[in-house]
Structure 1
Amino acid sequence: MKLIVCLVLLAYLAMSVEGNRWGTRRTNCGVSVWSEWSAWSAPAPGGTRTRTREIVRSPRNGGSPCPTLTETASRADPWSRQGVQQKFHNKFMTGHTHYYSFIPDSSRAVGLPGLVEAPNREAHVLGGGDGGVTLLPRDLLFMIDMSGSISSSDWTTTKQKLAELIERLCGSIGRGRQNNRIAIITFSSRVVLNFNFKAHWTINSVKNAILAMPQARGSTCTGDAFEYARQYMFEPDTGIRSATESVKEVLVLTDGHSNCGAALPNAVRRLQVKAFVFALAIGDYGTSGKAEIESMVSRPLIDHIFSLANFIEFRNMVNEILLYPDKCAPFELK
């Protein structure tokens, strides 16, 4: 009888300890994925639209609080140059701070197999660290126009300012799991691989390689650059990581309309399956030129197109970004 009583007491104590452990476990807030966007409230170019999500797990014991449950978007001109330095910093330079959620079921993927992008690259999806969200570094491919319309002095400016931007990327560059990796191809009448993702592991090494890039002037075969990137730059032997290890992004820096090479629409569609695409469009673009740039980039357009009038504006934009004290914090205009 005493043995039975002892066993009952031991079982009760074990249950109490287990219950206390679960009762004090830190649990982060979990939220559902975003709903579909509502209809625009007014015809273009005005109007707003909203989307919502729900709390599926409340935070407990000091867990991460719940993020916003409603998001509102406004129509805006992606070609506006007002505040472009702020937009470029917040949407491109600080990309390492964004959250992405890996979902094993690839049928749920958006943009990349097995990877669901957190809306607007800034919101928590399905909770904190124990809810499936992983903070991923970036494998960044720069596609740089070196065609004959770019003067030697503008080419020098491009290299100098790009090298300075590299140093300001949130997450830095290196072999670490949370470091970014950089690759660069240049294009004109032909496509040149300057270096792949495993060629340089320090900021200084990348900067020196950028400053040494020669300019092979010629036509603007942008479609060929997209095809080359799709075929060769997203293979494991380039040093690029798997979908669970990094986010794949491309920045196209160009000063004009393509005029040779592969059909751009087909090349763009194939590359956008592999990566999110941004464009730094330098110069004055007509209707057809804007349409071409808009076809290149990921959606929403407002987050992926950065428009500058000339290379002087490019230099000034970079200089402004360099003055900002925290490379990982959102840029705020004075």
Structure 2
Amino acid sequence: MNYFSLDLVLLVFAVYNTASCTGFIFDVRTDCLLTSWSSWAEVPGLDVHVHERGILRHENKGGIPCPPRETMREVRADDIMKRWDSPEHIQDTARSLSENFIRRNPKPDNPTEPGHIRDLLIVLDSVESLDDEAFNSTKQNLAELLGMFCPDPDPFAKLYNHAVLIGVSNSHDEVFEFNNYDGIAAVKDAILQVHRDSNRSCMKSNLDAAFTMLTQTGIRSDILVDKDVLILTDGYSNCSGDVLASALRLRGIARVFSLLIGSFSSNGFNDVLNYVTTPVPEHLFIVKTQQGFDQLMTTLESQNNASCMPFDLPSTMK
């Protein structure tokens, strides 16, 4: 009996080591296998619902291929304009933004989960549907939003969160990098100094630059440091190329959030749905006007009195 068990172990070891690098133990024709569709979930504050599915197993050796990623999400818009920037919409969006992005309080579904510090990369689109005054107000709101992060008392002290900003125009002239600024006051001032020029901001170029920065420069490798991306955009890509492919590549290495603001098109809305990480309702926040963004910030500030959730800091910081 003991000899049989040993032979069986050796046989399994041999089969495993002769398997191809596709990840399948038996190198045979295999069809793509998908999860079931998730239940429909509402994007915070809107009469827009999304459901999604994922890939459990990729095809192999000529099996039925997996569908394109963009077909793995479906959107049901009951009345997309019905609640834009209404008080209910602002309240719902503020609640989602606080719980899923700012995260001062423990998450309701997992109250014991500690927070992580983050390397945050901000993609600031030119947001052409906003005039210069509204764009400057957007920068002010963004700076105040970062000040709501944890840990206290200064979320961007040198050993805590780091930030980098790219975008504004095609030229990428306006960039500040990880570790350039120590403290939230310096980060806020850097955001307020950013200007946009006459060149349109190319979303594909921005997403590719974000991927490069997160993989090659400035990023911390500790597993207790989250890689997060926040895209502020009106949904217009403003350039050719496969924007979705760039977005999916970025989603493979970071959690991608988006604040959609301004007079975006239905195509732009659908594009942004595919930029963000799953599940969409926890990663996409929408305001239609600059006034709506101002109201959102006022609501967040009124809710931002809670102390920070416990943080799981890297060992080098304890």
TM-score for the superposition, normalised by structure 2:
0.64
In the alignment, is residue 218 of structure 1 matched against residue 199 of structure 2?
A: yes
2: CA distance, partners of 1:185 / 1:42: 34
In the alignment, is residue 182 of structure 1 matched against residue 191 of structure 2?
A: no
Q: Name the aligned partner's letter for residue 309 of structure 1.
A: K
Partner in structure 2 of residue 202 of structure 1 = 183
Change (3 A) 1:325 1:233: closer
Change (3 A) 1:288 1:139: same
Partner in structure 1 of residue 135 of structure 2 = 155
Structure 2: runs of 5 or more not aligned: 1-33, 43-47, 53-74, 310-318
Change (3 A) 1:95 1:228: farther
Contact 2:235–2:272, Cα closer than 8 Å, also in 1: no
Range 183-192 or range 135-144, more displaced: 183-192
Q: Name the aligned partner's letter for residue 150 of structure 2.
A: C
Q: What is the CA RMSD across the aligned residues, in angstroms?
A: 3.5
Instruction: Note the 1:300-319 alignment, pairs <5 A.
Output: 300-319=279-298
Shift of residue 41 of structure 1?
Answer: 6.9
2: CA distance, partners of 1:289 / 1:48: 18
Shift of residue 187 of structure 1?
Answer: 3.1
Q: Percent identity?
A: 24
Summarize deviations over 1:294-319 as a string: whole Å, max 9, x none. 11110011111111111111111112
Partner in structure 1 of residue 302 of structure 2 = 323
Partner in structure 1 of residue 18 of structure 2 = none
Partner in structure 1 of residue 12 of structure 2 = none
Summarize deviations over 1:142-189 as a string: whole Å, max 9, x none. 11012543311012101111111111112211223xx21111112333
**Aligned partner of residue 318 in structure 1, secondary structure:** helix
Partner in structure 2 of residue 168 of structure 1 = 148
Bigger radius of gyration: 1
In the alignment, is residue 254 of structure 1 matched against residue 199 of structure 2?
A: no
Change (3 A) 1:96 1:247: farther
2: CA distance, partners of 1:273 / 1:47: 20
The total of aligned residue pairs comes to 237
Q: Name the aligned partner's letter for residue 254 of structure 1.
A: T
**Aligned partner of residue 142 in structure 1, secondary structure:** strand
Partner in structure 1 of residue 267 of structure 2 = 288
Change (3 A) 1:220 1:186: closer
Structure 1: runs of 5 or more not aligned: 1-35, 50-74, 99-119
1: CA distance, partners of 2:290 / 2:174: 23
In the alignment, is residue 139 of structure 1 matched against residue 122 of structure 2?
A: no
Shift of residue 223 of structure 1?
Answer: 0.7
Change (3 A) 1:200 1:265: same
Summarize deviations over 1:59-104 as a string: whole Å, max 9, x none. xxxxxxxxxxxxxxxx997977522122112211117957xxxxxx
